[in-house]
Amino acid sequence: MLTSTLLSKQLPSLQYSSTSERFDETWEAPLATLLGLGRAAGADFIEFFLERVNYISCLAEDDSITSITPRLSTGAGVRVFRGKADCYVCTNDLSFSGLKAALEKGLSILGLQLPTANSFIPEINLELLRDYATKRGKDGWLPLCSSIRDMGEVLLDGTNALNKKASHVQSRRAAYFRDWQEVLVAASDGTFARDIRLTQSVGFNILCADGANRTSIGQRDGNTSDPNFLRTWDYQQAAEQISESAGKMLYADYVESGNYPIIMANHFGGVIFHEACGHLLETTQIERNTTPFADKKGEKIAHESLTAWDEGRAENAFGTIDMDDEGMPAQRTLLIEKGILKNFLADRTGSVRTGHPRTGSGRRQSFNFAAASRMRNTYIASGEYSVEDIFSSVDKGIYCKKMGGGSVGATGQFNFSVDEAYLIENGKITKPLKGAILIGEAKEIMNKISMCSQDLELAPGFCGSVSGSIYTTVGQPHIKVDSITVGGR
């Protein structure tokens, strides 16, 4: 910790030797000095976010590797608060002078200036470095990850398995990426924390056609914190699953449009809750006045069968983090309990502007973005029914086994395609259907989820919002929606 007080005129002569190959305790002195400089200039709060990234992706199409894309980056962002106003400035220059220039720019945007030459710079006492990376043995992860040669061999073995298992194949794709990230957060409230994240994902996409019949379907797996993830990926099983789905959908009848009760499968079925409701529980939406739930805390917003969580602690889940991008430790946040809205997701800015407590949800794609309130692992909790109970409650409806893409409006209106669907008659699955699109509105659909089974499963996903694209988890057990508009033919 710093033990002396500086004069502003001494800054140009300061010399720091921070470790360049990692973020460690040697960064405390320069960052604490800069934080004190920002406070001396009149800022209420200052935060530095430092990042190093080692990313690579690999794509196999049919029987060839068609793309290998590496990316290395290093940078930092500084956020300055004055009252409820804030600004964010980023830079690739991590030298003391480079970080000082970024801070000075941020101060000037808020109408603040660096103190005069004889001004004292207050001491900022940072906590002892909370080093999640060292504590959990993450420093050795990167060298243990799969080599480029390994990536190519696994993906080509995967597309070869698809060719053997699927019929009427027009194209086969297997894609993998590894995203290694080291971060350091230092803030004027004393926060000083470091972490390493390792996120990996691999999956298939297949296009099949037979005359006028066509189908395209994808499947993806994801992981955090396991360098051996790609080596242990069961591409044979994944190829079997996606080939079976494609075979059924290739000759499926088109669904007839109308209102139906539907059963949504577990796993990636949770994407609708994420998109149609989860975003509306972020304080970013309260700030923009784009959520119908802004003043509903403590009130019923969903069916009493529905309980939902957002958390950053599930083992190896895609949205799992030891700390958020503002240095706050991960935690579990109860969003909805038996239909009652309990909490919102808040980052620092959201907390300042809305009054809701921070939830460890300040996340960003990279140093190019200021953190914002974002989801982590978000899911509908297990309920009291069996899957058989749910199916037996439907005389005629649709089973949505695999969800596709979709869009969501600013206040929760949504439409989602269903990649794999089946007709339910008298509680039984009968025939495959294609072309189904689910259409609805969050505040209505949440009150129609009347049954939740006991088979919760999570699935990896990617979420885009104001702070860029981040890794998240969606999930749910099998659920029944009493009625929803289904677009079709």
pLDDT digits (tens, 9 = 90+) for 197-235: 999 999 999 999 999 999 999 999 999 999 999 999 999
Residue, of 79 and 19, whose pLDDT is higher: 79
What local confidence, expressed as pLDDT, does residue 406 receive?
80
User: With b meaning 16 or more CB within 10 Å and e meaning fewer, what string describes 403-432?
Assistant: bbebebeebbebbbbbbbbbbbeeeeeeeb
**pLDDT of 442 over the 90 cut:** no
Residue, of 99 and 276, whose pLDDT is higher: 99
Q: Helix, strand or coil for residue 199?
A: strand
pLDDT band at 409 (very low <50, low <70, confident <90, very high): confident
Our CA angle for 60, 420, 434, nearest 5°, is 110
**pLDDT of 2 over the 70 cut:** no
pLDDT band at 436 (very low <50, low <70, confident <90, very high): very high
SS3 of the chain: helix, strand, coil, percent, to 5: 25, 40, 35
**pLDDT of 9 over the 50 cut:** yes
**pLDDT of 1 over the 50 cut:** no
What local confidence, expressed as pLDDT, does residue 114 receive?
87
E-strand stretches of 62-125: 64-82, 85-91, 120-121
Q: State the average pLDDT over residues 393-409.
A: 92
Q: State the average pLDDT over residues 59-64.
A: 98
What local confidence, expressed as pLDDT, does residue 4 receive?
54
How big is the chain, counted in residues? Answer: 489
Taking all residues of the chain, what is their mean pLDDT, rounded to a whole number? Answer: 95
What local confidence, expressed as pLDDT, does residue 5 receive?
65
| Domains of the chain by start residue, with CATH | 6-133 (no CATH), 138-180+196-253 (3.30.160), 258-487 (no CATH)
The DSSP 8-state label assigned to residue 431 in this structure reads: E
**pLDDT of 177 over the 80 cut:** yes
pLDDT per residue over 305-321, tens digit each?
999 999 999 988 999 99
Q: State the average pLDDT over residues 76-87.
A: 97
pLDDT per residue over 261-273, tens digit each?
999 999 999 999 9
Q: What stretch of H or E contains 314?
A: none
Q: Which residues contact 153 (CB under 8 A, 6 or more apart)?
A: none
pLDDT band at 194 (very low <50, low <70, confident <90, very high): very high
Q: State the average pLDDT over residues 142-164.
A: 97
Q: Which of 117-121, 305-309, 402-406, 454-458 has the lowest mean pLDDT?
A: 117-121
Question: Measuring CA to CA, how many Å separate 455 from each of 245, 388, 403, 472, 477?
Answer: 21, 11, 17, 20, 5
What local confidence, expressed as pLDDT, does residue 276 receive?
87
Q: Which of 43-57, 157-171, 402-416 has the lowest mean pLDDT?
A: 402-416
What local confidence, expressed as pLDDT, does residue 118 receive?
79
Q: Where are the alpha helices (DSSP H) in 314-441?
A: 348-354, 387-392
- Give the pTM: 0.94
> Rounded to whole angstroms, how far apart are CA atoms 251 and 99?
60
**pLDDT of 89 over the 70 cut:** yes
Q: Which amino acid is at 442?
A: A
How much of the chain exceeds pLDDT 90, in percent?
A: 90
pLDDT band at 408 (very low <50, low <70, confident <90, very high): confident
The DSSP 8-state label assigned to residue 252 in this structure reads: P
Residue, of 412 and 296, whose pLDDT is higher: 296
Q: State the average pLDDT over residues 383-398.
A: 97
**pLDDT of 456 over the 90 cut:** yes
**pLDDT of 117 over the 80 cut:** no
**pLDDT of 123 over the 90 cut:** no
